[in-house]
Structure 1
């Protein structure tokens, strides 16, 4: 988003609309997040030949 120091205070309907949109927004649930144990297991057990760039 580009910020250009535009004052939107005179546009009450726009401000109300943006607030309503923000209330409805539900952040997506992150999938495929490793637990600390899973991350440690990956670092210790994954073969370096294949996964070294990710480590």
Structure 2
């Protein structure tokens, strides 16, 4: 999703999220984890920080 977003293909990134979420719900009966939910929300907000390389790193 992040690679698509960074390639100016945000709509495709959101479509990937929708497909993956549906698959997780269907196969596991659960919602995606917090990391995926947070990334999805950030994509929807079009946060400029997502264009940086350290978006997913949280370890100083």
Task: Classify the TM-score, shorter chain.
Answer: under 0.3
TM-score by length of 2: 0.25
Flag the structure with larger Rg: 1
